Chains A and B, each alone.
Chain A
Amino acid sequence: MTLIPDPTPTRRPSRAARRARTAAGLILSLVATLLGLLLVTFFIGRIVPIDPVLAVIGERATAAQYAAAREALGLDQPVWMQFLIYVRDALTGNFGTSILTRRPVMEDIARVFPATLELATIATIFGVLLGIPAGVVAATRPGSWIDQLVRLVGLAGYSMPVFWLGLMGLLLFYGILGWVGGPGRLDSGYEMMFEFDVPRVTGMILIDTALAGKWDIFRNAVSHIVLPAGVLGYYSMAYISRMTRSFMMNELSQEYITTARVKGMPEWRVVWVHALRNVMVPLITVIALSYATLLEGSVLTETVFAWPGLGLYITNALFSADMAAVMGGTIVVGAVFVFLNMLSDVLYRLVDPRARS
């Protein structure tokens, strides 16, 4: 018997099917990433030689109180059972109760994350607004004084400890010059006004006060966020400007740039429209990574500026072996990375026509 080839040509899957497949792949990778995160954090938590029970009961507890607390935390179960229980609860959105604050971890994170989100967003805006132009300018004039200046500023941004920079910034702009608000998200008086007079919508003070039309609190919040965001933004600026410079140097040596120049296109258009647009794809990744790093929470900045954010929360939890809080925080950070990854993908499609086809 002769095998006759099927006369109907293989049909390409429809656009909807392709999308569904992409989405399924994305969800699968998301689930795998989060599960992996859970697994690693959970077991690290079990390996560290810190007893979480002691963090709850303190120095004086008797052996009986210790045993009772251990049982209440579920630590008397076998490790694999503890993990399964944890995953089961996590799937229903229950990340357990923090042993330090005695509140559901998700409630805690919902409280601290907006503070970090607000700070990281403004810092990233600083970083992008200053870093990209600085990188572009440096690339257009390699070796010039301006290039050296950008390099120097960038290098300083990388090398100076954030703790020191934050303290010095506070000392100068808050302590001596009085140009900005001090540590914390608001002055004490405004903080109480915010507490009692402003409905919580997002937990981000700038947005909530703007929505409520409380512009005096809003302005006070701006005066408080500008310095920590500036310090963090400086770091992200240093990174973004160096990367922009290197991408642009590469792009400006391309033939199409020479062609454009030969055709008499104005230089600003060559640089800011043609070349910059082409480096946006790798730049988006750089910016997203930098943003994600800030969203993890910068512990040192949050400590210096008494900023009650995610970094401080997770660090406190780690020191106290508050593993429910550590794992909840890790999942949130992991989810942020995954989300920003997806966002970068979407943005690629917007700026790069090839990615759309």
Chain B
Amino acid sequence: MPSTLWFRPAGLALAAAMMLGTAPAALLAATPEDTLVIAAQIDDIVSIDPAESFEKSGGDLINNVYDSLIELVPGTSELTGGIAESWDVAEDGVTFTFTIREGITFHSGNPVRAEDAAFSIQRAVKLDKTPAFILTQFGLTPDNVDERVTFEGNTLTILIDEPVAPTFVYNCLTARIASVVDKELVLENEVDGDLGYEWLKSNSAGSGAFRLLTFRPNESYVLEAAGDYWRGDVQLNRVFVRHVPEPATQRLLLERGDVDVARDLTPVDVEGIAGNEALKVDEAPAGYIYYLALNQKVEPLNNPAVIEAMRWLVDYQGMADTFLKGQYIPRQSFLPTGFLGALDETPYSLDIEKAKSILEEAGVEPFTAKLTVRNNQDRMEIGQALQNTFAQAGITLNLSVGAGAEVLGEFRGRQHEITLQSWGPDYPDPHTNASTFTVNPDNSDEAGLTGLLAWRTAYEPGELQEMTEAAVRESDADTRRAMYEEIQRIHRDTSPFIPMFEEVDQISMQANVNDYHPGGGVDAATYWLATK
């Protein structure tokens, strides 16, 4: 058979495929000049309604589309005026007033009024979605919020139930749930008295630097500069955030110049781009504390000697220097960097002999416990490292790996033995973590205080709870700082929690990108100052 005959169709097919593949190569474009293109994992966004959003990526969107009563200076935990240009607290310690800035408009063109600010808080409290506790902890309820949050002219008044440190209130009002929404626009889109809940799932009604142009869950969102932003000129016209699930893919996009910022590179990828002069890496604390929680209903995990020994069985520095390099730093207290009262002390280190002698003195026999971790690479590796060092002191850890919701469900149901978890702050005040790590008013199973970490792990905090309640009322900043430092030391040395690491955000970007603030542990990302 002549060979030319049977090569013909195959050759044609091959040629067609080659042409398809190579023809468009010349068309590749860099990112548009007026657009900041970000590759990130944004599939955590459940909602873009400020009254409901509680995930990291959703916070970035909301922070740029909405303004709050009080804002944080980007990149810091310093308070600055937002929709409110000034604020004050009356002598009674419970009446807070806010003077609303004149001349600001929403993206719809409607003016921003004290009425909108009051409506936004009332709406969030009435909808009672997960983050509502940030407001309801001040005694606001769906029934009383209309009387307690009122407005007159350009003054907003909030009446809380008992005196607390005023900065605690102000810090909470920087949280995204206190974002001011456009009352008229939201109510125009209300269906069956839902306060615009359905509509705000995929639309926006803010006054921030950008308006939401498109939002495609798990795919992308596009923001466009709203024009004439009251806080200053917005440098770029658009922000385009693309969902790119795979870190190695994010890295390739960044290296090829097809994105300006990549949010989720692994330590290996960050190391890989280190020599590339066209790129740079910014670091900021992410605010997440990684800790072990030992269920106090389980023997012998409720033995103080066992907990003490375990603190000496974690190779904090070893892990941070190897597989967690650059993305986690040792942290042995519950407040993240940058918070009032944050402690940088790390008194514990890996000391097998010491752990053994503590266990021996207490007469603890070798035992086996289950360690539950999420099916995430970093966490599984931490779990394996713990398995290794714990075994050297006679503690056998059986690793149980599960999906996020599964592991969380077990923890919330107090079904775990030891669990590796992380906790991020909800608002930039130390009470956010203190109130969950050290407060448990009723340790019974029936109490169902699932929102409190202390309850979940059946920990009775004793005096720490009163100390935390006192600290949140203290109005002197220095005294308050000292109180949180003491609380953390006691908690670190006596509680069944073993804080191990704080997560660090490594943001890789083109060298020409400046003033991109990722937000860190206290705030969300700020796009309006960014230039390229």
Contact = CB atoms under 8 A, between A and B. Distances in A.
Interface in A189-215: 189-192, 195
A51 interface: yes
Nearest to A137: B6
Contacts of B238: 192
Contact of A188 (B27, B240, B408): B240
Interface string A141-158: 000000000000000000
Of listed A103, A108, A187, A266, residue having the most chain B CB within 10 A: A187
A86 interface: no
Interface in B355-375: none
Nearest to B197: A102
B28 A188 contact: no
A20 interface: no
Contact of B29 (A190, A195, A316): A190
Interface in A131-175: 133-134, 136-137, 140, 167, 170-171, 173-175
Given A187-B29, A188-B32, A192-B238, A137 B259 contact: no
Which of the four size classes fits the interface of chain B? 35 or more
* Chain B binding surface SS class: mixed
Nearest to A222: B24
Contacts of A189: 29, 31-32, 35
Interface in B266-320: none
Interface string A171-190: 10111001111111001111
Given A129-B17, A191-B220, A319-B403, A58 B244 contact: no
Contacts of A188: 31-32, 35, 37, 240, 242, 258-259
Given A63-B449, A133-B13, A308-B218, A179 B405 contact: no
A182 B20 CA distance: 15
B446 to A, nearest CB: 10
B512 to A, nearest CB: 16
A61 interface: yes
Of listed B17, B24, B259, B449, residue having the most chain A CB within 10 A: B24
A101 interface: yes
A59 B412 CA distance: 9
B485 interface: no
A333 B130 CA distance: 34
Interface in B194-216: 201-202, 214, 216
Contacts of B22: 179
B408 A59 contact: yes
Contacts of B6: 133, 136-137, 140, 268, 271-272
Given A103-B202, A178-B25, A192 B32 contact: yes
B502 interface: no
A37 interface: no
Contacts of A102: 46-47, 201-202, 217
B32 A182 contact: no
A178 B451 contact: no
A321 interface: yes
Nearest to B2: A267
Of listed A60, A108, A175, A195, residue having the most chain B CB within 10 A: A60
A66 B145 CA distance: 22
Interface string A100-117: 111100001001000000
Contacts of A133: 6, 9-10, 13
Contacts, number: 206
A180 B412 CA distance: 48
B444 to A, nearest CB: 13
Given A50-B405, A63-B450, A188-B258, A179 B5 contact: no
Nearest to B244: A306
A18 to B, nearest CB: 39
A272 B9 contact: yes
Interface in A58-107: 58-63, 65-66, 68, 100-103
A182 B405 CA distance: 33
B166 interface: no
B217 A183 contact: no
Interface in B326-347: none
A49 B406 contact: yes
A182 B24 contact: no
B130 A57 contact: yes
B231 interface: no
A330 interface: no
B256 A175 contact: yes
A51 to B, nearest CB: 4
Nearest to A128: B13
Interface stretch (B110-118, B184-192, B246-254, B466-474): B246-254
Contacts of B258: 182, 187-188
B10 A134 contact: yes
B242 A306 contact: yes
Contacts of B28: 178, 181-182, 187, 220, 223
Interface of B: 1-2, 5-7, 9-10, 13-14, 16-17, 20-25, 27-29, 31-32, 35, 37, 39, 43, 46-47, 54-55, 128-133, 201-202, 214, 216-220, 222, 238, 240, 242-246, 248-249, 252-253, 255-256, 258-259, 402-406, 408-409, 412, 423, 426, 448-451
6 contacts: A60-B131, A61-B451, A140-B1, A178-B25, A182-B253, A188-B37
- Which 7 pairs from chain A and chain B are nearest by CB? A223-B24, A133-B10, A101-B217, A129-B13, A63-B448, A268-B5, A267-B1
Given A188-B31, A303-B245, 12 more contacts: A60-B133, A60-B451, A101-B218, A175-B252, A184-B244, A189-B31, A190-B29, A191-B240, A219-B24, A230-B17, A272-B6, A306-B244
